[in-house]
Amino acid sequence: MKKINYSEVTPEKIYNNRRFFIKSLGLGVSSIAMTALPLINNANSNEDNELTSYKDITTYNNYYEFGTAKGDPYKYAQNFKTNPWNITIDGEVEKPIQISIEEILETFVSEERIQRLRCVEGWSMVIPWMGFSLSQLLSKVTLTSKAKFVEFESVYDPEQMRGQKYPVLQWPYREGLRIDEAMHPLTTVVTGLYGKKLPNQNGAPLRIFIPWKYGFKSAKAIVKIKLVEKMPTSSWMRASPREYGFYSNVNPDVDHPRWSQATERIIGNDIFAPRVKTLMFNGYGDDVASLYTGMDLKKYF
């Protein structure tokens, strides 16, 4: 049975307006969806809470499995097969499971979650994802006491992913979170955007999204979620441990060794729009700063 979402028949502008209307009535499906986007007090700009257009979100991507140019994922991911698709949850769990994407979509209700994406390269978007908290998915298994970290493994299929034929990064792509980060309600399993099915170039059929961390932490096309005791080494840490840390929290005070992280450009703005100040934890400090109490974030970057 094909489910038709309104947004498939609604222009983006009206979609945006309706969203605003629902918000103003306070009839949000979930409180988190509505509070997920922090209010930004920035004298430099008044536009940074505007949704990035569907076109920009789906044609301007970093997804090296399909090539390193921003337009490559859109160009080369169109025929990527996301069905059948199974996700394994194993490692430090009582009983490992394998779950199909259909079952995930049936079991968990995806809600709209408008979240900011800040790329480590210094640009940002505001994306209306469809998704649910990772903690819900992880509740399908019973964690052992050794489950201290979560490792995400993306699909490895060089036949379909031309970028994987080049050793730009170590494939398959790996990312990781500390267990408390993984269990945080803002950590989202993404199944769609703009009310539609998740496009291939954005990580279909299922990706993770962690709004207070640089974009590369949010692994795409996930096939395996492994609970582990030791801190996993992500693909980017392996590529350059001095530059890409495990935490990779958005932090304007900790520069990338080679470029500044103090400001960002908002995708979709015209050439005369100024850069805006980058916010600590990408503006989600109220929700997540407590996860890092007492930690030296310059050391654990």
Partner 1 sequence: MNRYFKPSIFFLSLLPFLIIVYKIYFNQLGPEPVKEITHHTGEWTLIFICLTLAMSPLKRLTNLTIWIKFRRMLGLFVFFYATIHLLTYVGIDYRFNWTPIFDDVLKKKYIFIGFAAWLLLIPLVITSSQRMMRLLKHNWRLLHKSIYLIAIFGALHYIWLSKTIFFKPLIFAIIIIILFLFRFNYRKYNN
User: Where on the chain is the footprint of partner 1 (CB under 8 A)?
Assistant: 56, 59-60, 68, 70, 120-121, 123, 166, 168-169, 239-240, 255, 258-260, 262-263, 265, 267-268, 270-272, 274-275
| Shortest distance in whole angstroms from residue 238 CB to partner 1 | 10
- Residue 280, CA distances (Å) to 56, 242, 266, 287 in order: 25, 21, 16, 12
Pick 80 or 123: Cβ nearer partner 1: 123
> CA–CA separation, 107 vs 224, rounded Å?
18
**Residues linked to residue 91 through DSSP beta bridges, in sequence order:** 227
- Residue 144, CA distances (Å) to 92, 141, 224 in order: 5, 10, 17
| Shortest distance in whole angstroms from residue 60 CB to partner 1 | 4
Q: Are 132 and 109 in contact (CB under 8 A)?
A: yes
Q: How does DSSP classify residue 275? A: P
| Shortest distance in whole angstroms from residue 201 CB to partner 1 | 13
Pick 28 or 122: Cβ nearer partner 1: 122
Q: Are 220 and 202 in contact (CB under 8 A)?
A: yes
Pick 95 or 258: Cβ nearer partner 1: 258
Helix (H, G, I), strand (E, B) or coil at 100: strand
Q: Which of 208, 186, 214, 217 is nearest to 278 (CA)?
A: 214
> CA–CA separation, 96 vs 141, rounded Å?
7
Pick 143 or 262: Cβ nearer partner 1: 262
Pick 23 or 277: Cβ nearer partner 1: 277
| Cβ-proximal residues to 182 (8 Å cutoff; 6+ apart), any chain | 134, 135, 138, 150
Pick 14 or 239: Cβ nearer partner 1: 239
- Residue 19, CA distances (Å) to 11, 34, 298 in order: 12, 10, 38
Pick 169 or 254: Cβ nearer partner 1: 169
- Residue 93, CA distances (Å) to 36, 100, 133, 143, 225 in order: 30, 18, 19, 4, 11
| Shortest distance in whole angstroms from residue 171 CB to partner 1 | 13
| Shortest distance in whole angstroms from residue 185 CB to partner 1 | 30
| Shortest distance in whole angstroms from residue 258 CB to partner 1 | 6
| Shortest distance in whole angstroms from residue 69 CB to partner 1 | 9
Pick 200 or 278: Cβ nearer partner 1: 278
> CA–CA separation, 50 vs 246, rounded Å?
30
| Shortest distance in whole angstroms from residue 271 CB to partner 1 | 4
